[in-house]
Amino acid sequence: MLDILDVSSAHNDGLILAESLWAAGLNTRAVRALLANGELVRIRRGVYALGDTWRRGESDDQYRLFVRATVVTAEEPLLLSHHSAAALHHLPIIGPWPTVVHAINNDAAGGSSARFTTSHRSVVEPEPVTINGCSATTLTRTLIDVAATSSFLVGVTMMDHALRVEQERVQRERRQSSISAPALCKDDLYAELAMVHPRRGGQKVRRVIDFANPLSANPGESLSRVRMAELGFEIPELQVRFVVQGREYWVDFFWRGVRKIGEFDGKIKYTRGALLGNRHPGDVVVAEKNREDRLRPEVTSFDRWDWDTAYSPRLFSEFLIQHDVPRA
């Protein structure tokens, strides 16, 4: 049974259409049994995914499947936008993904909401791109739309990530002597903002662009900077290089005026295979401690914080005050 489902899922990049199940000889009773024992998960009416695929996926993966399932079942073609386009562009989010799919539809009077979709009107008709068979707004347009309609934290997190990934792409392509396109930069975002000219949120978008920084290495670092700004603390330099005993080290945050190093410790580097490489988590912890021991004599203090601390304005404010982080 699973072999049949695997083949169907592979053909549709994780989605299993009801027609595929019927074509494979399954009837309604068999599908219900698969749903009951967890081998199959219904995403939308007539669209399914393997249970293991759904359960192993992060919330990002699950929302992407939901977005694609909604596109497949839509009566009219959808031009995905806002958070739904952001998910397809693999932009990160801090907080939950929406429970609906966002799309541009200028035929919707003033924007409209249905059970599974929210439609937006656009002053400027977006240029579409195709991702996983879906039509979506470009990366630049998506960043503007999200920043205009979301919290400052969500806008900065996505923009930091996009700017960093684009710079990394160009660096990688330069090593291969084949640059496909210039890296996305802030000038591109300012130009897109001027062209889109959103009815609401334009000033917020400009503030997000001003604050965004491609040196922010992960969403936790973006969260930390946003909290510092909200709480009135000095924004430190990012990714500062130290050379100690002939060895090169880079730190997340550095307040040069008080010679203080700060590091966001998301614990992900101790648990995820891609970041561990072939090393045991214990070896990574020891290496981090040795690195910290070498850096401490170079500065006045070396402080670490985690997700729970940075996410809570109260806890992070108490932490920054306790560790003498300078005020803005």
Q: Judge whether 63 lies within some domain.
A: no
Nearest-angstrom CA–CA distance, 165 and 286: 29
Scan for tokens 């009219």, then name that residue: 76
Q: Based on the domain organization, do 232 and 112 belong to the same domain?
A: no
DSSP state of 249: E
Domains held by the chain: number: 3
Overall size of the chain counted in residues: 328
Nearest-angstrom CA–CA distance, 10 and 174: 33
Look at residue 142 and give its three-state secondary structure: helix
Q: Based on the domain organization, do 299 and 260 belong to the same domain?
A: yes
DSSP state of 235: P
Q: Judge whether 258 lies within some domain.
A: yes
Residues contacting residue 314 through CB under 8 Å, at least 6 positions apart: none
Q: Judge whether 133 lies within some domain.
A: yes
Q: Based on the domain organization, do 190 and 234 belong to the same domain?
A: no
Among 179, 211, 243, residue at a domain's last position: 211
> Quick one: pLDDT at residue 235?
98
Domain that residue 33 falls in:
2-56
Q: Is the dihedral of CA 249, 90, 111, 47 positive or negative?
A: negative
Q: Based on the domain organization, do 121 and 139 belong to the same domain?
A: yes
Q: Judge whether 64 lies within some domain.
A: no
Q: Judge whether 308 lies within some domain.
A: yes
DSSP state of 233: B
Q: Based on the domain organization, do 78 and 204 belong to the same domain?
A: yes
Q: Judge whether 69 lies within some domain.
A: no
Q: Judge whether 269 lies within some domain.
A: yes
Q: Based on the domain organization, do 205 and 266 belong to the same domain?
A: no
Residues contacting residue 310 through CB under 8 Å, at least 6 positions apart: 220, 223, 224, 227, 264, 316
Among 155, 176, 211, residue at a domain's last position: 211
Q: Based on the domain organization, do 90 and 206 belong to the same domain?
A: yes
Q: Based on the domain organization, do 169 and 266 belong to the same domain?
A: no
Interval 5-52: pLDDT, tens: 665 555 578 899 999 889 888 899 999 999 999 999 999 999 999 999
pTM greater than 0.95 (yes/no): no
Interval 185-229: pLDDT, tens: 999 999 999 999 988 899 999 999 999 999 999 999 999 999 999
Q: Based on the domain organization, do 119 and 51 belong to the same domain?
A: no
> Quick one: pLDDT at residue 113?
59
Q: Is the dihedral of CA 178, 81, 147, 59 positive or negative?
A: negative
Nearest-angstrom CA–CA distance, 30 and 50: 14
Interval 260-319: pLDDT, tens: 999 998 765 444 444 445 555 556 667 788 889 899 999 999 999 999 999 999 999 999
Q: Based on the domain organization, do 144 and 29 belong to the same domain?
A: no
CATH classification of the domain holding 255? 3.40.1350
Q: Based on the domain organization, do 290 and 306 belong to the same domain?
A: yes
HEC profile for 117-145?
A: EEEECCCCCCCEEEECCEEEECHHHHHHH
Q: Judge whether 259 lies within some domain.
A: yes
Q: Based on the domain organization, do 80 and 161 belong to the same domain?
A: yes
Among 190, 211, 232, residue at a domain's last position: 211
Confidence of residue 115 (pLDDT cuts 50, 70, 90): confident
* 139-149 vs 202-211: helix crossing angle, rounded to 10: 110
> Quick one: pLDDT at residue 288?
81
Residues paired with 118 in a beta bridge: 102, 113
